Structure 1
Amino acid sequence: MKKLFLLLLSVFVLLGLAACGTASSEDENKDSNSSGGETSGTEAGEEKAKLVVGATSVPHAEVLEEAKPLLAEKGVELEIEVYQDYILPNKDLDNGTLDANYFQHIPYLEQQMEEFGYDFVNLGGVHIEPMGIYSKTIGSLDEIKEGTVVIMSRSVADHGRILSLLEREGLIKLKEGVNKVEATVDDIDENKLDLEFDASIDAGLLPQFYEREEDALVAINTNYAIEAGLNPLEDALILEGSESPYVNIVASNAEDENDPALQTLIEVLQSEEIQTFIEETYEGAVVPVH
């Protein structure tokens, strides 16, 4: 009788373990299926694409900050890396630190690609920053004296732009037939006031030279001028017009040209909302591309 009891007890224990194993397996399958559903749902509609975009602080990073919520609505999370120079944003785009950058105009992009062999593409234009020529002490063109020094950045891509402004005001004349976008000081044919040119300065330092160099003309990129508290429309002695070909663009690596998140980025930056923001915020010192 005792043996029969032990035998029955063993059977019951085995059946109980089997039932627990089945329940555990079912629970695991249920959890697994549930987890899989959540993952699928996130991938289908909740998980956002992420972009890391490099930009100089003003106005580029400010424009990107305004675009952030609009991008989020379209499923793109934006991280902004702010730079204070024109060299690192392209280096970091090339090495994969950035997905795109937004700080440069087309001639500068083309010059950088030629010099460093970057395989970049222009995804589209966003705005124009009119180049300005400033002076702390010279109040009008008539006050420019013979031998005045014109201080400009070491960026060759901006030299033709600056020289074209001086030519427009009758201060110099460029050689006949020269490509004004690519013009250099060597292309000056007439220089009525014997202006001298210093093209050895980093662009970000130009506002400092404006503050301390008396009786000089200083060509300052609008982003650095605004950052230094200058109003291009009021403070520039000579200011580029909105017809400028120097459109600031978003650049990416060529292999990413058709990336959906990058296409959404340029779509938002060219949207009516962002164009209106640029017009209202910078009041003509930065001109949106329509």
Structure 2
Amino acid sequence: MKKILIFSLVLSLILVLAACGKGSANSANGQTTLVVGASAVPHAEILKEAAPLLKKKGINLKVKVFNDYVLPNQALASKQLDANYFQHIPFLDLYNKQHHTDLVSAGKIHIEPFGIYSKKYKNVSDIKDGATVQISNNKSEQGRILLLLQSKGLVKIKPGVDGVSATLNDIDNFKHLKFLQPIDPALLPKAYLNNSADLFAINTNFALQANLDPGKDALILEGASSPYANIIAVRKGDENKKAIKELVDVLHSKTIQDFINKKYKGAVLPVSE
């Protein structure tokens, strides 16, 4: 009876330890596994470059690729991921507000200069009154697009309105630009190739996936001073975890910054803060 009791206690302990080892961020054989959701380009590419550096620090990085802007935050909030890497803070703030979540930034990593593309116009000065503009249905990007158009004198955001949160109702549309029905951001490159509008506001990651070169193909391109840096997002409190801090430190390293500069040639700009 005593032996059976001891065996039962040992078995229970084994089961408890096994249960503690489950989950996405767990340690085994001295290695911590970190599961990070990311857009395919450039985020997943950057993470894969960082993986060997993290391996040396005892962190096994697993990258899960997403092709939309909703599921990565859903997966993070439901603890299917330890972090995600695809969004900027204005998008995250809007998501938290709409979904009553508490996701936070663990660090800014890079900027993808947003672009306005056109097959019809080669110069901004040629854009005529009434030109059609195709934008995405990502509401957090609307202010960003309007700021970009304003930078070239195509619209004017009304006084007293914060440009980041500006909407189509907050502009003086003196060139009578016609903003078409917003579509999914991933569909913008296809719309551009089909030439279904005069101007197209396209996220750089989707432009790169469509083999567009923002530096050469964009009619208007955002500068490095943009407030829309892409971040590592985590659940509140996890930003202080050692593995997350190591991830951010590696992504801020000279090795990764050099990789970003060399591979994307200005289409993606590293951030070191």
TM-score by length of 1: 0.82
Closer, same or farther: CA 49–217 of 1 in aligned 2, 3 Å: same
Q: Residue 44 of structure 2 corresponds to which residue in structure 1?
A: 61
Structure 2 Cα separation of the partners of residues 208 and 129 of structure 1: 19
CA-to-aligned-CA distance 1:236-256 (integer Å, 9 cap, x gap): 000000000001000011132
- Helix, strand or coil at the partner of 2:68: coil
Distance 1:199 1:61 in 2: 30
Q: Which amino acid aligns with 2:264?
A: Y
Which of structure 1's runs of 4+ aligned residues deviate more than 2 A?
Answer: 43-47
Partner of 1:150: 133
Query: Partner of 2:271 in structure 1?
Result: 289
Gaps of 5+ in 2: 1-25
Q: Which amino acid aligns with 1:76?
A: I
Match of 1:186 in 2: 169
CA distance in 2, matches of 1:264, 1:58: 22
Task: Within 5 Å, give how 1:137-286 maps onto structure 2.
Answer: 137-189=120-172, 191-286=173-268
Query: Which whole-Å CA distance do the structure 2 matches of 1:222 and 1:234 have between them?
Result: 12
Question: What RMSD, in angstroms, separates the aligned Cα atoms of the two structures?
Answer: 1.6
Q: CA deviation at 1:108?
A: 0.5
CA contact under 8 A between 2:104 and 2:236: conserved in structure 1?
A: yes
Shift of 1:70: 0.2
Read off the aligned partner of 2:206 and give its amino acid letter. Answer: Y
Partner of 1:12: none
- Structure 1 residues 253, 44: closer, same or farther in 2, change over 3 A? closer
* Aligned-partner Cα distance in 1 for 2:230–2:209: 17
8 Å contact from structure 1 (residues 137, 214) kept in 2: no
Structure 1 letter corresponding to 2:81: L
Instruction: Check the 8 A contact 2:108/2:230 in 1, yes or no.
Output: yes
Residue aligned with 1:200, SS:
coil
Q: 8 Å contact 1:127–1:286 — kept in the other structure?
A: yes
Q: Is the 8 A contact 2:105 2:231 kept in 1?
A: yes
Match of 2:119 among 124, 133, 136: 136
Deviation at 1:53, TM superposition (A): 0.2
Instruction: Tell me if the contact between 2:27 and 2:33 (Cα under 8 Å) persists in the aligned partners.
Output: no
Identity %: 49
CA distance in 2, matches of 1:85, 1:44: 30
| Deviation digits for residues 202-246 of structure 1 (CA, Å, limit 9, x no counterpart) | 001100110112551000000000110000000000000000000
1:60-109 Cα shifts (integer Å, max 9, x gaps): 00000000000000000011000111110000001111110000011101
* Structure 1 unaligned residues grouped into runs of 5+: 1-42
- Tell me if structure 1 keeps the 8 A contact 2:134–2:197: no
Amino acid at match of 2:64: E
Please tell me whether the aligned partners of residues 132 and 178 of structure 2 are also in contact (alpha carbons under 8 angstroms).
yes
C-alpha distance after superposition, 1:3-60 (max 9, x if no partner): xxxxxxxxxxxxxxxxxxxxxxxxxxxxxxxxxxxxxxxx999420001100000000
Which structure has the larger Rg over C-alpha atoms? 1
TM-score, normalised with respect to structure 2: 0.87
**Contact 1:135/1:214 (CA < 8 Å) preserved in 2?**
no
Q: Which amino acid aligns with 2:48?
A: E
Mapped partners of 1:132, 1:67: distance in 2 = 27
Specify the code of the residue in structure 1 equivalent to 2:221. Answer: L
Bigger proportion of residues as helix = 1
Distance in 2 between residues matched to 1:45 and 1:53, nearest whole Å: 18
